[in-house]
Amino acid sequence: MHPRYKVKYKILPSTSICNALEQNSAEINRKKIFYDELEKSILEQGFINPIMVNAGFCPTISKRYLPKHMVENKNEILVCCKWGGSRLYIAQKHQLDIPCLISDFIGKFVEPELDLATTQTMLYAIREIVVTDVGLWAKV
């Protein structure tokens, strides 16, 4: 799919993922009804779409959010920096496992690589997945 990374699908413990979008989540949380509705939906129905996670790479703009062990060792990087920060916030609050589309830059996961067509059909609310040098991005 892309020469720099392979796209994998895996359900991961939410606590193992750095949420670089947490600042955005905090802003959205001020509109409390959004989080109340999202939390209710996730707890009743589970996750409809996976979040997007990078393994082994973090764009420079998001690096300031990484914990020290991830900064010191890129093999430890597992970061949500593009799509799904609100869902990750709720999952971490309740210590839930969360489905992830992973842009795996270091071969961290053994799951088979997904092709773009398979990836796109997995998603419910995302219109288009875009393959970039810094991982997958979603258009809505």
- What is d(CA 128, CA 86) in angstroms, rounded to the nearest whole number? 20
Q: Is 42:96 a contact under the CB 8 Å cutoff?
A: yes
- What are 27-75's pLDDT values in tens digits? 666 666 778 888 999 999 999 888 989 999 888 777 888 889 988 898 9
Closest CA to 54 of 6, 90, 92: 6
What the block records as the tokens of 14 is: 């939410």
- What are 117-138's pLDDT values in tens digits? 666 666 655 555 666 666 665 6
